[in-house]
Structure 1
Amino acid sequence: MSLYDEGHTVAGWTGVAIATAGGAVVGLGVCTASLPVAGAGLAVVALSVLVTWALHLSGWGKPPGVRPREQWGMRVRDTRARDGHPGCVGCRLAGRGRKRAAPVPGAVPGAIPAESIPLSPIE
C-alpha cells in the first residue's frame, strides 16, 4: 500500500465529478454536431478546474507527498493550506508559500545596489 494517498480529497472528487459531467456534455455536443453544446461542455470542464483549485485553497485538498495515516480520510481538512503547501503549483499560483525577503534596514525601496551597476570600460 502506498503512503501517498493522492487525490482522495473532497476537492479531487468534486473536480472529477464536474469534469465528468462537462465531458458528457462535450460528447453530446459532438454527437449532435452542435458547437454551442460542445462549447458549453468545455466551459463546464474549465469550471471544474476553478472549483477544484478553490476547494484546495480552502483546505479540502491536500498537498502532494507522504502524509500520516490519520490525515488520509476524505473529511479531514488540511489546516496548513492557508500558508501554502511546499512544492504545490496551485498554492504558488495563488501567491501562497512564497518566502519574502526581510527588508534591509536603511535601504531605499526600489534602489539598485551599487555593486550590481555595471562599470564603464574606463573605470
Structure 2
Amino acid sequence: MASHGHTPAAWTGVIIAFIGFCVAGAFMVMANVPGFWAGMAIIVIGGIVGGVMRMAGMGQTKRPQRQVAGSES
C-alpha cells in the first residue's frame, strides 16, 4: 500500500511551502513587492528542504516497476 507522501520529508516540505504561500499572499495584499518575493523564496526553500530530506532517506522508498504482460524492455 502506498503512503502517498505521508513521510517526514513530504510533511516538512509542504509545511514550509504553505508558510511561504501565506507570507507571499499577505504581502501581496499589502502591495509589498519585496515581501511577496520573500514568500516566493520560502516556497522554493520548502521544495529544496523536502528534496534534501528525501535524499537523506526520510522520504518514500521507490518500489520496483511491474512488468506489463506482453511488453518487452
1:39-78 aligned at under 5 Å gives the runs 39-65=37-63
Aligned pair count?
65
- Stretches of structure 1 that go unaligned for 5 or more consecutive residues are 66-85, 88-123
Name the one with the larger helix percent.
Answer: 2
State the Cα distance separating 1:64 from its structure 2 match: 4.6
Give the corresponding residue for 2:32.
34
Q: Which has the larger radius of gyration?
A: 1
Following TM superposition, the consecutive aligned residue runs of length 4 or more in structure 1 with deviations greater than 3 angstroms are none
> What TM-score comes out, normalization by structure 1 length?
0.50
State the Cα distance separating 1:63 from its structure 2 match: 2.8
Identity %: 34
Matched, 1:9 2:3: no
RMSD, aligned α-carbons: 1.6
> What TM-score comes out, normalization by structure 2 length?
0.82
How big is each residue's C-alpha offset from its partner over 1:86-107, in whole Å with a ceiling of 9 and x where there is no partner? Answer: 68xxxxxxxxxxxxxxxxxxxx
